């Protein structure tokens, strides 16, 4: 018997990295999963992995910044899988760069994808889970707990997710809705996000440090293992599955008294 038998979960950004691992882990514990993303190929791979291990999954193309799409995602999920009571607001991007060179459009894009989406998803979930209860899990980061050179917009977005989560949790509890809302704060996890959009962060570092973090193909590739070795006492990057396990816990009744809290999984990075 799984921890989530009979439950229905929506996972955004499920075509890659932590979202994919979470969709797989939720399904492994018995949840029927609606996996959404803008990346259709990624979703196909996620669905194939879940189906191969006997899990139940459907996929939907969703841009999390599109307000109207949220109603469609909840309606389709309820119609095809049953009423969702778990939402993982995972989709995100990281836009790096020095503040003095940062454009307003990059800033707004960072907030739109990482913050507006979490508001839209949480609002949709709260409207629909009032009677059933549920668990909303928002992906923040250690970057939402402390500042980082070259990552000001990303840190700001993840700090916003942290406090929005707490506010939503208090609002749900005060209304008497059994909806728990928590944030998860990964450290350095080995996923494609580092190569996709953070690379420019090295541009804000002293040359020697940037060179140390370059991957085998040079400055355009970030060596995530080297980055984690320097930053985390456990001296390695985390695996997406290590975040997914926390997400399953928070989705389950094992976390029935946990709400408005931040769950840090970072190999000890913020312990010193």
Ligand X SMILES: NC(=O)c1ccc[n+]([C@@H]2O[C@H](COP(=O)([O-])OP(=O)(O)OC[C@H]3O[C@@H](n4cnc5c(N)ncnc54)[C@H](O)[C@@H]3O)[C@@H](O)[C@H]2O)c1
- Which sequence positions are flagged as catalytic? 154
Share in percent of the chain as helix, strand, coil (round to 5): 50, 20, 30
Binding of residue 181 to ligand X (CB under 6 A): no
Residue pair 267/186 in contact by the 8 Å Cβ criterion: no
Using CB under 6 A, which of the segments 49-57, 163-171, 189-197, 205-213 binds ligand X? 189-197
Q: Which stretch binds ligand X (CB under 6 A): 36-44, 52-60, 210-218, 248-256?
A: 36-44
Can residue 91 be called a binding residue for ligand X (CB under 6 A)?
yes
Number of residues written out for the chain: 272
CB 9 within 8 A of CB 87: yes
Q: Which is nearer to ligand X, 132 or 187 (CB)?
A: 187
Nearest residue (CB) to ligand X, 157 versus 259: 157
Residue 19 binding ligand X, by CB under 6 A = yes
Q: Determine if 29 is a binding residue for ligand X (CB under 6 A).
A: no
Among 16, 77, 135, 152, binds ligand X (CB under 6 A): 16
78, two tokens? 């309820």
Q: Which of 35, 17, 36 is nearest to 26 (CA)?
A: 35
CB of 153 closer than 8 Å to CB of 95: yes
Collect all residues with Cβ–Cβ distance below 8 Å to 160 and sequence separation of at least 6: 111, 114, 115, 144
Smaller CB separation from ligand X, 62 or 85: 62
Is residue 13 a contact point for ligand X (CB under 6 A)?
yes
Q: Per CB under 6 A, which of residues 127..166 are in contact with ligand X?
A: 139, 141
The only residue of 65, 183, 204, 252 in contact with ligand X, by rule CB under 6 A: 65
Closer Cβ to ligand X, 2 or 242, answer by number:
242
Complex with ligand X: residue 155 or 179, whichever CB lies closer: 155
Taking contact as CB under 6 A, which single stretch among the options 2-10, 35-43, 76-84, 169-177 is the one that binds ligand X? Answer: 35-43
Task: List the beta strands (DSSP E) in 21-63.
Answer: 32-37, 56-61
Residue 121 makes contact with ligand X by CB under 6 A: no
Token pair belonging to 242:
């290590």
**Exposure letters 116-126 (e unless 16+ CB within 10 A, then b):** bbbbbbbebbb
Tokens of 243: 């975040």
Map the footprint of ligand X across residues 194-223, applying CB under 6 A: 196
Q: Which two tokens stand for residue 185?
A: 């704060």
Give me the residues that bind ligand X (CB under 6 A), please. Answer: 12-13, 15-19, 37-39, 42, 62-65, 90-94, 113, 139, 141, 186, 188-189, 191-193, 196
């Amino acid at each position: 018997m799984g921890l989530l038998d009979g439950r229905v979960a929506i996972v955004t950004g499920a075509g890659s990295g932590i979202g994919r691992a979470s969709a797989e882990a939720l399904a492994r514990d018995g949840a029927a999963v609606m996996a959404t993303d803008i990346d259709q190929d990624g979703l196909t791979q996620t669905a194939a992995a879940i189906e191969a291990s006997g899990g139940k999954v459907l996929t939907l193309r969703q841009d999390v910044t599109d307000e109207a799409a949220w109603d469609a995602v909840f309606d389709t999920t309820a119609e095809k899988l049953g009423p969702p009571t778990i939402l993982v607001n995972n989709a995100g991007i990281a836009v790096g760069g020095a503040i003095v060179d940062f454009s307003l459009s990059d800033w707004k894009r960072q907030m739109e994808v990482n913050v507006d989406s979490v508001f839209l998803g949480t609002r949709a979930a709260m409207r629909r889970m009032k009677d059933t209860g549920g668990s909303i899990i928002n992906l923040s980061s250690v970057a939402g707990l402390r500042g980082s050179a070259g990552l000001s917009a990303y840190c700001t977005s993840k700090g916003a997710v942290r406090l929005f989560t707490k506010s939503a949790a208090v609002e749900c509890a005060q209304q008497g809705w059994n909806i728990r809302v928590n944030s998860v704060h990964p450290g350095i996890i080995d996923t494609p996000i580092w190569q996709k959009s953070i690379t420019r962060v090295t541009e804000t570092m002293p040359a020697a440090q940037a060179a140390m973090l370059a991957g085998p193909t040079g400055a355009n590739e970030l060596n995530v293992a080297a980055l984690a070795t320097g930053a985390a006492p456990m001296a390695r990057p985390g695996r997406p599955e290590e975040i997914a396990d926390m997400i399953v816990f928070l989705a389950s009744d094992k976390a029935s008294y946990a709400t408005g809290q931040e769950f840090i999984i970072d190999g000890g990075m913020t312990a010193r």
